[in-house]
């Protein structure tokens, strides 16, 4: 999806409320620029992950959800881990420090009406992301795909060429980013919290 495609189609039904709030923010910046000449710019990030994420068992995004589930399976000696959906949807992920880097980059190199997409430009299937997580955690069990859970949209890829043409590139590969994220997970969640599940959401909620 390129910057020009914003508001050219239907909003994704499960994200509609969040999408409206986010688009309102972009439009507010644009309006300030037009009405008052304020040099406000906005960025539209792709799916983010990294240190400080939310590991709640029911309300987390896919990468932290799988990090937690695979980690718990490893420590409980469970032979399988369930991954939601078929594993075939493709997603683009960006390490959170790369987003911070992109924000500084655009502050220094860009001014203009349009928001800028910030993505890694690389897609992986959910199955491949899950395998990478198992590799990082050194989990030897099997991944089971539960097709009764929703897959969501088949692809979510931002067109980030405007930013890339200005010379910005993400620095962190998905493998490297997952290793950094898992180290952070290990420091944040001591062993005593490992086997707790939905009964102790506050232990896992993001601050």
Residues found near ligand GDP in the complex (CB under 6 A): 61-62, 65-66, 83-85, 89, 91, 126, 149-152, 156
Q: Is 18 a catalytic residue?
A: yes
Q: Are 36 and 24 in contact (CB under 8 A)?
A: no
Q: How far is the CB of 182 from ligand GDP (least distance, A)?
A: 16
Residue closer to ligand GDP (CB basis): 111 or 153? 153
Q: Are 38 and 101 in contact (CB under 8 A)?
A: no
Residue nearest to ligand GDP (CB): 85
Residue closer to ligand GDP (CB basis): 58 or 165? 58
- Please give the Cα distance from 160 to 144 (Å, whole number): 33
Residue closer to ligand GDP (CB basis): 14 or 161? 14
15 contact partners, CB below 8 Å, separation of at least 6:
none
Q: How far is the CB of 4 from ligand GDP (least distance, A)?
A: 22
Q: Are 91 and 124 in contact (CB under 8 A)?
A: yes
Residue closer to ligand GDP (CB basis): 13 or 37? 13
Task: Assign 42 to helix, strand or coil.
Answer: coil
- Please give the Cα distance from 95 to 185 (Å, whole number): 15
Q: How far is the CB of 63 from ligand GDP (least distance, A)?
A: 7
Angle among Cα 51, 126, 100 to the nearest 5 degrees reads 30
Q: How far is the CB of 70 from ligand GDP (least distance, A)?
A: 10
Which of 18, 32, 55, 204 is labelled catalytic? 18
- Any idea which residues carry the catalytic annotation? 18
């Amino acid at each position: 999806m390129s910057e020009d495609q914003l508001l050219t189609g239907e909003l994704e039904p499960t994200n509609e409320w969040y999408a409206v709030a986010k688009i309102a923010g972009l439009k507010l910046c644009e309006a300030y620029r037009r009405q008052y000449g304020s040099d406000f710019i906005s960025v539209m990030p792709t799916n983010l992950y990294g240190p400080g994420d939310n590991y709640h068992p029911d309300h987390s995004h896919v990468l932290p959800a799988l990090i937690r589930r695979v980690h718990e399976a490893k420590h409980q000696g469970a032979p399988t881990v369930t991954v939601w959906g078929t594993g075939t949807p493709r997603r683009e992920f960006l390490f959170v420090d790369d987003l911070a880097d992109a924000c500084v980059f655009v502050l220094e190199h860009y001014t203009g009406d349009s928001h800028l997409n910030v993505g890694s430009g690389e897609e992986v299937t959910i199955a491949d992301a899950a395998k990478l997580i198992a590799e990082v955690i050194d989990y030897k069990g099997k991944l089971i795909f539960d097709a009764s859970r929703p897959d969501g949209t088949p692809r979510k890829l931002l067109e980030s060429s405007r930013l890339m043409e200005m010379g910005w590139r993400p620095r962190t590969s998905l493998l490297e980013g997952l290793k950094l994220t898992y180290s952070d997970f290990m420091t944040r969640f001591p062993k005593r919290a490992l086997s707790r599940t939905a009964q102790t959401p506050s232990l896992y909620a993001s601050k």
